[in-house]
Amino acid sequence: MLHLDRARAARWTTARLLQNTLWDIEDGEPAIAPAATVLDDALRSAGLA
């Protein structure tokens, strides 16, 4: 059986999304990637982020 810590995984994923967004901004991207927004919304609606 896997011992998954879903809350920890969600926090890590959210932090990673933020880091990727900051790198994109540094590289001149004008907006947050749509996939990052969808993933963050899904984590929040599941009560994990």
Residue whose C-alpha is closest to residue 40's, from 16, 14, 21: 14
Q: Which residues contact 14 (CB under 8 A, 6 or more apart)?
A: 40, 43, 49
Cα 47–chain centre separation: 13
What pLDDT tens digit does each residue of the chain (49 aa) get? 677 788 898 899 999 999 999 999 999 998 899 999 999 899 889 887 6
pTM of the complete model: 0.77
Expressed in angstroms, the distance from the first to the final Cα of the chain is 24
State how far the Cα of 49 lies from the Cα of 43, in Å rounded to an integer.
Answer: 5
State how far the Cα of 38 lies from the Cα of 2, in Å rounded to an integer.
Answer: 26
